[in-house]
């Protein structure tokens, strides 16, 4: 018998009353927010919060501002419009995002898929079957990204079954898993899980850390288990106001990531999603961080900085401009210390 249903983390915090056992909160409005956008905080993540209002608190604890500014869209990136079947987003020619779970170990307050996360949307086996059939029918798809929700909220057997079916499709060259579990529920990463995933190489896992305080011995252990079976690990960090919108915090985060064998892949600019406007920062903030990272830390630690265009335009990397002036075959280029050098072009 294959166990069905999601991996359950029973002892997570999901109500104001439970939260009040750990922090003095008098914020009755939390209930109003939770009604619209559910709360879930793992005991592990809760233990990392140092004080009321810090960068980890902000990511996990509901805020009344989630109910403000309803002019922002639920789905500004047109994910639903670009879904040929309910669980699959096909925006680029050669790759798809396959939403195989609506559940996450923790509900991040800034989530760009707030509209669906934690909802009891129908996630019938038939919708997974439809997604797999779509991939099978579209020869141009060579990269399948399992996302959600969090794919590692599925139990090992369900995940194995999905991976097996995708792997059977000849034109699929690589599989990626997007998961925040190594950060928020590191004990979910077991040898059994790693053995399940490794059968389907080449398989990549992009995880999600936003703050240096999230990098703990438990997360390090989780990442080692995955890296030891040959799964390359990347990180997709979201730039968030009051959490990591500082060059020094980002530098520390990127350095700590490579120490736990995770290669920073993207810093995502926060999307204009309803319920998350209090996390948004100007693009200039992101560019300043990027400029600071360049030269001050190993190139290995530097991710690309991405904005995702509204209406399904896709991701675009934003870059700092180091060419100060150009005159035919002569460029004046600025280095990371702000000094100018003349560069002879060909
Ligand atoms: C981000 C994203 C991808 C993957 O983009 P990469 O730049 O290849 O990592 C694919 N499809 C959709 C819909 C996405 O949002
Ligand atoms: S883990 Fe990812 S999908 Fe889940 S709530 Fe957090 S950001 Fe959203």
For the chain, domains (ranges, CATH) are: 16-323 (3.20.20.70)
Is residue 314 within 8 A of residue 323, CB to CB? The reply is no
pLDDT on residue 3: 47
Average pLDDT for residues 32-38, to the nearest whole number?
A: 94
Q: Ligand 2 pocket test: which of 9, 75, 180, 183 has the largest number of ligand atoms within 8 Å of its C-beta?
A: 180
Show contacts of 14-17: CB within 8 Å, 24+ apart: 14/38, 14/39, 14/40, 14/41, 15/39
Ligand nearest to the CA of 112: 2
Q: Ligand 2 pocket test: which of 145, 149, 235, 239 has the largest number of ligand atoms within 8 Å of its C-beta?
A: 149
Beta carbon of 117 within 6 Å of any ligand 2 atom: yes
- Taking CA 15 as the corner, what is the angle to CA 26 and CA 242, rounded to the nearest 5 degrees? 65
Give strand pairing partners of 237.
267
Just list the catalytic residues. Answer: 91-92, 95, 104, 108, 111, 113, 271, 308, 315
Ligand nearest to the CA of 81: 1
For 192-259, the DSSP string reads: HHHHHHHTT-SEEEEE---SGGG--HHHHHHHHHHHHTT--EEEEEE--TTTT-SHHHHHHHHHHHHH
pLDDT on residue 120: 67
Tens-digit pLDDT profile for residues 114-123: 998 887 665 6
Which pTM value belongs to this model? 0.95
Beta carbon of 177 within 6 Å of any ligand 2 atom: no
Q: In this predicted structure, which of 50-54, 88-92, 171-175, 327-331 has the lowest mean pLDDT?
A: 327-331
Beta carbon of 186 within 6 Å of any ligand 2 atom: no
């Amino acid at each position: 018998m294959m166990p069905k249903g999601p991996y359950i983390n029973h002892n997570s915090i999901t109500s104001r009353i439970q939260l009040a056992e750990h922090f003095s909160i008098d914020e009755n409005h939390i209930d109003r927010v939770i009604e619209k956008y559910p709360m879930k905080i793992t005991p592990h993540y809760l233990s990392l919060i140092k004080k009321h209002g810090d960068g980890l608190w902000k990511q996990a604890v509901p805020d009344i501002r989630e109910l403000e500014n309803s002019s922002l869209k639920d789905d500004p990136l047109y994910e639903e419009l670009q879904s040929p079947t309910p669980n699959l987003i096909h925006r680029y020619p050669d790759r798809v995002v396959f939403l195989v779970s609506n559940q996450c170990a923790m509900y991040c307050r800034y989530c760009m898929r707030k509209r669906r996360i934690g909802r009891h949307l129908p996630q019938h086996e038939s919708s997974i079957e439809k997604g797999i059939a779509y991939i099978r029918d579209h020869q141009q798809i060579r990269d399948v990204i399992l996302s959600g929700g969090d794919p590692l909220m599925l139990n090992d057997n369900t995940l194995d079954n999905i991976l097996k079916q995708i792997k059977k499709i000849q034109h699929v060259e690589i599989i990626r898993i997007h998961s925040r579990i190594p950060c928020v529920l590191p004990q979910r990463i077991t040898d059994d899980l790693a053995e399940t995933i490794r059968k389907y190489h080449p398989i990549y896992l992009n995880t999600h850390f936003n703050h240096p305080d999230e990098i703990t011995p438990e997360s390090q252990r989780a990442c080692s288990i995955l890296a030891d079976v040959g799964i390359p690990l990347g990180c997709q960090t979201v730039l968030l106001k009051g959490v990591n919108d500082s060059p020094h915090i980002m530098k520390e985060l990127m350095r700590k990531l490579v120490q736990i064998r995770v290669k920073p892949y993207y810093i995502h600019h926060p999307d204009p999603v309803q319920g998350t406007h209090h996390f948004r920062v100007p693009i200039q903030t992101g560019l300043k961080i990027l400029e600071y990272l360049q030269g001050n830390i190993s190139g290995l630690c530097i991710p690309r900085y991405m904005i995702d265009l509204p209406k399904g335009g896709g991701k675009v990397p934003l870059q700092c401009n180091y060419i100060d002036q150009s005159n035919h075959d002569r460029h004046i280029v600025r280095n990371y210390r702000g000094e100018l050098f003349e560069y002879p072009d060909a």
